[in-house]
Amino acid sequence: MQVLLDTHAILWWALDDPRLSYQARNLIASFQAEVLVSAASAWEISTKVRLGKLPEAEMFVDNFTPNVSRMGFQELAVTLEHGCRAGSLLGHHKDPFDRMLIAQALALNIPIISCDGVFDRYGVRRIW
C-alpha cells in the first residue's frame, strides 16, 4: 500500500510534533505502507522557510532529500499528468500545493495522510 504525506504530516513526523494523529503516526511507523513525499511538499516547505513562516523547519530543509530518505520515505516527482490534473481541478481551493497533492493522490489512486478536510471535497481518500 502506498500513502502520500501532506506537507504538515511530513513536518510533524520529522519534528515529533504531537499534532500528528495516533492513526497517522502508527501507519507511518508500521512500515506497512510505502510512504511518499511529493516534490510539491519540498517546494512548499522551502518557500515557507525562506519567507520566515517555518523557522522550525530550516534544518530539515537544508538536507531535505537525505532527511526524507533517512526516514524511509520515497520521493514522488511532479509529472506533466499531475500538473494537468492540478490545474484542471474544479472548486475554489486556491492553495497550489494542496491542489498538487490532491492531483497526485487521485492520479495514483492512493490515500493521503492529512488533517485537512479540504481533500475530502475532491474525493481523495484521507487518513487521519
94-106, pLDDT tens digit by residue?
Answer: 899 999 999 999 9
| Per-residue model confidence (pLDDT) at position 105 | 98
Mean pLDDT, the chain, rounded, equals 95
11, 49, 16, 27: which is closest to 112 by C-alpha?
27
**In three state form, how does the secondary structure of 66-89 look?**
HHHHHCCCEEECCCHHHHHHHHHC
pLDDT at 103: 97
Q: Where are the domains of the chain?
A: 2-127
- Return the CATH superfamily for domain 2-127: 5'-nuclease (3.40.50.1010)
H helix intervals, the chain: 7-14, 22-30, 39-50, 58-62, 64-70, 80-88, 96-108
84: cell is: 494537468
Q: Average pLDDT, stretch 33-43?
A: 97
Cell numbers for 55, please give them.
523557522
Task: Determine the pLDDT at residue 93.
Answer: 79
Distance between CA atoms of 60 and 41, rounded to whole angstroms? 12
What is the arithmetic mean of pLDDT over 109-121?
96
Indicate the pLDDT class of residue 32, thresholds 50, 70 and 90. Answer: confident
One-letter amino acid for residue 99 of the chain: R
Confidence at 40, pLDDT banded by 50, 70, 90: very high
